[in-house]
Structure 1
Amino acid sequence: MTDSSTTPAGLRTGTWVLDPAGSSVRLTHKTMWGAATVKGAFATVAGSGELAPDGAAHGTLTIEAASLDTGNTQRDTHLKSAELFDAAAHPAIVFTAGRVTADAEGALAVDGELTVRGTTRPLALTGRADTDSPDAVVLTVEAVVDRADFGLTWNRLGMIKGPATISVVARFTHGG
């Protein structure tokens, strides 16, 4: 059963569900020795969370690895292959938020774990929480991730430099 009371910030407690149409997960990464930037988006995302009466929150964001689209079919096929994301063996990229806090101005801190290609690492995010209504909130965060931490080490001729940046806009609605 879902509690329908509200937190001091005005959001309803209980279960929240990701609105895929109002959400996005984007990736940017330098290639060609830093001379070019590859940009892409994951088309399929899902998630849910829970907000307790004391304001404590936690949740999960699941991204379908095979839904990555960079606008280049050959590159996308390679990114999804066993050399990189290995989407056939590891179809989901999962971020589990163990602790989510937001202050009165909307500054957001998220502590959790990211699992990519079967490897889980801690990840702390910062961003913003904007309330559309007591029944809708948009979380906007950005993370810098070292792909090697997750076994994505393919790098022909050293062309791929530095970490990837992941940008997330996650719109959650109250689950009723």
Structure 2
Amino acid sequence: MATIEAATLRARLADGSLAGPWRLDPSRSTVELHTKSMWGLAPVKGTFRELSGEGALTATGEASGTLTVHSASIDTKNRKRDDHLRSADFFDSAAYRSAFGLTWNQMGMAAMKNTITIHAVFLRG
């Protein structure tokens, strides 16, 4: 798949040539976790290895879609911490996975549009 320069992407969004359904390519996409430890002493970084998504672009360049992040795929390079994050104390990955909807405008701004579900806690965007 070819890389599209920003100016070319804006032009193609404006002329509607990219309109239609799209599917996320997981091999070219990343969802990361960045936070501080409980006591704020050290940053914790991780990557979710499994994700999927799909969306649609309109002829006017507006986009909407769904991104699903599989919480069991968290990888912080620390197996004990990862197992704890997958447990019922945090993600409860055996029962839940995180999913949320995003919308984009022509300026590339994203905003949460739908419900986020993390460990059965619902947050509205």
Contact 1:28 1:40 in 2 (8 A): yes
Q: Normalising by the residue count of structure 1, what TM-score does the alignment of the two structures yield? A: 0.59
Q: Does 1:8 align with 2:17?
A: no
For the residue of structure 2 that corresponds to 1:12, the secondary structure is coil
Structure 2: 5+ residue stretches without partners? 1-11
Q: Which has the higher contact order (CA 8 A, sep 6+)?
A: 1
Name whichever structure is richer in helix by fraction.
2
Q: What code does the residue aligned with 2:41 have?
A: A
Aligned pair count? 113
Match of 2:62 in 1: 56
Choose between structure 1 and 2: higher strand proportion.
1
1:32 CA drift (Å): 4.9
Match 1:17 to one of 17, 23, 28 = 23
Quick one: distance in 2 between partners of 1:69 and 1:9?
40
CA shift, 1:85, in A, is 0.5
- TM-score for both structures, normalised by structure 2: 0.80
Mark the runs of 5 or more structure 1 residues left unpaired by the alignment: 1-5, 124-176
Q: Structure 1 residues 62 and 120, CA, compared in 2 at 3 Å: closer, same or farther?
A: same
Deviation at 1:80, TM superposition (A): 0.3
Q: Does the aligned pair in 1 maintain the 2:62–2:106 contact within 8 Å?
A: no
CA contact (8 A) 1:78 1:84 kept: yes
User: What percentage of aligned pairs have identical amino acids?
Assistant: 40
**Structure-2 residue corresponding to 1:75:** 81
Runs of 4+ in 1 over 6 A off after TM superposition: none
Q: Which of 94, 98, 102 is residue 99 of structure 2 equivalent to?
A: 94
**Alpha-carbon RMSD:** 1.8
